[in-house]
Structure 1
Amino acid sequence: MPAADTRHMILEATRDCVLADGYAALSTRKVAELAGVPLSQIHYHFGSKEKLVLALLEAENERLIARQAALYAGDEPLSVQWDRACDYLDQDLKSGYVRILNELIAAGYSRPELAARLNVLLGEWIKVLTSAFAYRLDRGLDLGPFTAPQLAALAGNVFLGAEQSILLGHENDAHPIRGALRAVGTLIADAERRAGLTPAPTG
């Protein structure tokens, strides 16, 4: 079997195991059994459990960063793009990406090397957001006293915090997380109208 196919099978099995058992309880032996490969193949291709899960996250992150960059590179109003980003959050929750990311973030609190890798991955999201906000601010959008990097930091951390709360099940009528996120798009649309821009209606 080609090495690329073996890696793919291992990564898919890893995703299933992390979603079922969490990172802390992840067993490379179970991953190997689910992938239908010898345990030695995991060590050959990835070296350790941590590197295995990081490889899975990095592959997903690369794909999703490209998706976000394409979103914000379009000519749609920022309010419409924000609303679509909320749709993407739902997709990423269903795919398991959000769970895997947050499992590794928790592990990174006590593992500096892992935290450093995660900071690089998260930094790619912030770069995309910073560019998106900078472009809109340059066109006259007024979002208060914030700079583009500050807006990117706020947006990135709002989504990260929302993801953690949703994963914990802390979303209900008294804490309408996704509704609040979408309402931010309405605020942006109002700012676009005041700036003389002509956004399409947000959904």
Structure 2
Amino acid sequence: MKIKCKGAYEYENLDWHKNHSALIIPKAAVSFLVYGTPIEDFIHNHKDHLDFMLRVKVPRSNKLLTIDEFGVENKEQNVCRYYVSNNGNKLVKIMPALDKPGKIATVWWNEEGEEMLTYKDSEIKKANKQGFTINKGQREIPLEERPQEIEASWGVTICNKLKDFKGNINYEYYITEAKKLVDCYQQTLDNPPKLCNNTLN
């Protein structure tokens, strides 16, 4: 039986421009759907480490950071290969601030020259009660950079070279994602999806 898979279930003979990330996920899902192989067994017994790798690419205007458990940041290259790992770091994309005017704040000082900002009328009374009664006019507060966590709630290990692979794969991530593909397929059996078609030779 020849299996022809498309979309999220595709993993063979992929064109260079297609997503080659975490091919273990569609492989495990298809093996379960076609042969009944338990997803956990397939993933735990898979030997090709490259199939666990994911790829991220950010524009030059962005930054890509790994952040460890102590909050220490490390700047990564804009194109990175990584895998989801036990005790891994956060992977965060930092996008530039939006190209539009910042917020307008009213600047208040107290007698000691300390500063407090208010953004709406309801905050003024609170500032005055705290002793910030000297109105120093308004100021535009620039918008901040926008962080976006990649693989949110999962740790990752950067692995741009396979020789750096440490073997601390978090299998639970890949199992969870493969089960999502299986659930998606099974929920649409009454309306056969175009994502995965089985054809007999």
TM (norm. structure 1) is 0.24
From the CA coordinates, give the structure whose radius of gyration is larger.
2
Query: 1 or 2 for the larger relative contact order (CA 8 Å, sep ≥6)?
Result: 2
Bigger share in strand: 2
